[in-house]
Structure 1
Amino acid sequence: MTAPHGTHPGPRPRTVLAMSRETRDALRDEGAFTLLQQVTDLDPGLLVTDFADPSAAAALTRAEVLFTHWGCPPLDERALAAMPRLRAVVHAAGSVKHHVTDAVWGRGITVSSAAAANALPVAEYTLAAILLAGKRVLDSARRYRERRSPYPLLPYFAGHGNHHRVVGVVGASRTGRRVIELLRPFDFTVLVHDPYLDEAGAARLGARAVSLDELARHSHVVTLHAPELPETRHLFDARRLALLPDGATLVNTARGSLVDTQALLTHLAPGRLDAVLDVTDPEVLPADSPLFRLPNVVLTPHIAGSLGSELRRMADHAAAEITRYAHGLPFAHGVDPRDLARTA
């Protein structure tokens, strides 16, 4: 990244919010604008949900920085025409693919993302899922609830537990790397697969680089952190799911399309595999999906990423980026358009 271009009339660049109203209200409820208002010329009451809205025209004309979040409209040529002074887009969430278009790069506008901040709660959710899977918490709770009496624990837990178990991490993305980092204090063997990561790079992370099929064959828990790309669709298809050992758990906090849902069901229904699914394909699932009923499936509605108080972390991350911009420094977490073809 090169330093953001343009001159600044002062240390507080004029900044406009562009996101859904629901997102803005959630940020305000969590006090996420406190630091932002200290470093920018910002009116939290002024919200743009449509770049063609005449009532926003004056504010957009003066905007130097666009503070974006979930629900930001696309920044296409027409939208940018309304913002002649725009020099930077600071996204207080993860992927910018939903709103940053080629027109942004074509005009030389710099872009920052809080993807690194959003990776932490996803990694924390994943760590919890891995640890609970090893202790068979879901099935144990179900059995205890149904029996309401003791049952023989030693034979039940044979072959399970979290000591010297193998965890396979698919994708050395920001989140994948965070997961590997969080796994270090535990007695796990960590395998990783990423086409852009070599053996030396994996070793530096504390993992062993393997092929995807080898990872599937040897992992007690497989956790997915690859981007949604044409080549990653159904990365875990019928053939690869069949490679997973009996009793293995598949954790997906990335994108539902990475897994062939119907193929996964053929392994979940008889209880051969377990799954923790924060994302599905489709999302949302049909109301009659068997995934809602299977006792060996934890199904959550895309909650692994930042929510509640975690929104404040992303907003503070974005505020720090705007501070760097205001002082003529390059973004610490700038988005390189050349990376978008292989990232989330």
Structure 2
Amino acid sequence: MTDSTSASPKPVVLLRPAPQKRDRIFTPEALARLDAAFTVIDLEDAPDDALFEEHLQDAFAIVGQPDLDADRLTRATSLKALINVEGNFFPNVDYGTAFARGVRVLGCGSAYSQAVAEFSLGLALDLARGISGQDGAMRDGSEKYVSESAGDAILLHRAAVGILGYGNLGRSFHRLLQPFHTTVRIYDPWLPPAVIQETGGIPAGLEETLRSSQFLFVFATATADNAHLLDGTALDLLPDGARIILVSRAAVVDYDALLERLQQGRFLAAIDVWPTEPLPKDSPFRGLANTVLSPHRAGGIPQAFHSIGDMVVDDLTLMARGLPPVRLQAAAPELVGRYRNKPVT
């Protein structure tokens, strides 16, 4: 990596990837490519803002999401790209000023899509057939054989599926459902019906989606408008025995209402995201036999992390040549201020 004393005509990249780690998202090969094409000011271990402020005016790109108010963005006179490498856009940036100054705000959320989609499919099959539950039963000696252990099993094949949120995650998952010949209703108020219809889905309102779903997949991001979208009233619309797969943002769900209905045996759930992480040791969710628990690990696998670094290098290289980025996802000015996601630690 280039240190702060090096002089070079190459564009300056400020690398402050927290809460990510540099070596988690950049392979040695990707770091070498980045360093060959840019003057990289590595700020991962810089505890204060002195170096950041020193190089801010010359920065071509910022990789990470440090605090960027209007004053900082105004002083970043060479800035062309702000690249979030955590996966969520946080409210610590004056996005209006960034867009007004022609700064591209880019995110890496699509890097996680395939990993989350495959994990979601695994959770659905587990809930359908009791795979992890029967593994536990065999380990403690309480198993029952053949049909005695499969009385509540159902097929994903030709099932009625509901998807809440049809962004990167929802679309990646929908493609995995094709061999199962499911009927898929999709609720996403940010999309016109034609977009959903073109993918073979059925655009539907929230109530219709919930009432019809044997399997419900929650991929919605957290916004200012959908906190506790799945509250008690909404959860009561689900049919008895439904399977709920939660792999997106915890804020979308009222977990107290969810817990109450799971304790009543109304449906089954697989949960990868939690309002408080780590999940408290005494959480009543830990004692539910009808729930598959997961510690927020659907997307965070090495292949997904490494793809982030490759995407960053590829798009910065294009932008340095005066071309638009093609791999990272551009934030929409109309939407980025609505997100209410929290950093994943």
Question: Do they fold alike, i.e. is TM over 0.5?
Answer: yes
Whether contact under 8 Å (2:25, 2:308) holds in the other structure is no
How far residue 321 of structure 1 moved from its aligned partner, in angstroms, is: 1.3
Distance 1:152 1:236, change over 3 A: same
Matching of residue 288 in structure 1 with residue 282 in structure 2? yes
Q: Deviations over 1:278-312 (max 9, x none)?
A: 11223443332101222222222222223333211
- Paired residues in the alignment total 330
Whether contact under 8 Å (1:14, 1:64) holds in the other structure is yes
For the residue of structure 1 that corresponds to 2:14, the secondary structure is: strand
- Which shifted more, 124-133 or 277-286? 277-286
- Which shifted more, 135-144 or 145-154? 145-154
- Which shifted more, 194-203 or 288-297? 194-203
Q: Which residue in 2 is equivalent to 1:3?
A: none
Q: Which residue in 2 is equivalent to 1:117?
A: 111
What is the root-mean-square deviation in Å for CA atoms of aligned residues? 2.7
Give 1:27-46 correspondences, 5 Å limit. 27-28=25-26, 32-42=30-40, 45-46=42-43
Whether contact under 8 Å (1:61, 1:82) holds in the other structure is yes
How far residue 205 of structure 1 moved from its aligned partner, in angstroms, is: 1.2
Q: Deviations over 1:118-138 (max 9, x none)?
A: 222222221221222222213
Q: Deviations over 1:146-201 (max 9, x none)?
A: 44554242672456122211221001112111111121222322121112334432
Q: Which residue in 2 is equivalent to 1:101?
A: 94
Q: Which residue in 2 is equivalent to 1:227?
A: 221
Q: Which residue in 2 is equivalent to 1:165?
A: 159
Give 1:118-133 correspondences, 5 Å limit. 118-133=112-127
Matching of residue 74 in structure 1 with residue 64 in structure 2? no
How far residue 46 of structure 1 moved from its aligned partner, in angstroms, is: 4.2
- Which shifted more, 254-263 or 197-206? 197-206
Match of 1:314 among 287, 299, 308: 308
- Which shifted more, 308-317 or 278-287? 278-287
Distance 1:16 1:287, change over 3 A: same
Q: Which residue in 1 is equivalent to 2:50?
A: 54
Whether contact under 8 Å (1:89, 1:111) holds in the other structure is yes
How far residue 258 of structure 1 moved from its aligned partner, in angstroms, is: 1.0
Give 1:132-211 correspondences, 5 Å limit. 132-153=126-147, 156-157=150-151, 160-211=154-205
Match of 1:17 among 11, 15, 18: 15
Whether contact under 8 Å (2:120, 2:247) holds in the other structure is yes
Whether contact under 8 Å (1:91, 1:318) holds in the other structure is no
Match of 2:206 among 209, 212, 222: 212
For the residue of structure 1 that corresponds to 2:221, the secondary structure is: coil
Distance 1:104 1:200, change over 3 A: closer
CA distance in 1, matches of 2:133, 2:83: 44
Q: TM-score, normalised by structure 1?
A: 0.85
How far residue 53 of structure 1 moved from its aligned partner, in angstroms, is: 2.1
Amino acid paired to 2:83: V
Give unpaired runs (5+ residues) of structure 1.
1-8
CA distance in 2, matches of 1:285, 1:39: 43
Amino acid paired to 1:74: D
Whether contact under 8 Å (1:223, 1:252) holds in the other structure is yes
Matching of residue 254 in structure 1 with residue 248 in structure 2? yes
CA distance in 2, matches of 1:317, 1:18: 16
Distance 1:301 1:158, change over 3 A: closer
Q: TM-score, normalised by structure 2?
A: 0.84
CA distance in 2, matches of 1:22, 1:173: 22
State the identity as a percent.
Answer: 29
Whether contact under 8 Å (1:20, 1:49) holds in the other structure is no
Distance 1:155 1:297, change over 3 A: closer
Q: Which residue in 2 is equivalent to 1:337?
A: 333
Whether contact under 8 Å (1:32, 1:311) holds in the other structure is no
CA distance in 1, matches of 2:247, 2:225: 18
Distance 1:188 1:49, change over 3 A: farther
Amino acid paired to 1:305: G
CA distance in 2, matches of 1:30, 1:259: 39
For the residue of structure 2 that corresponds to 1:254, the secondary structure is: coil
Whether contact under 8 Å (1:40, 1:322) holds in the other structure is no
Distance 1:200 1:78, change over 3 A: closer
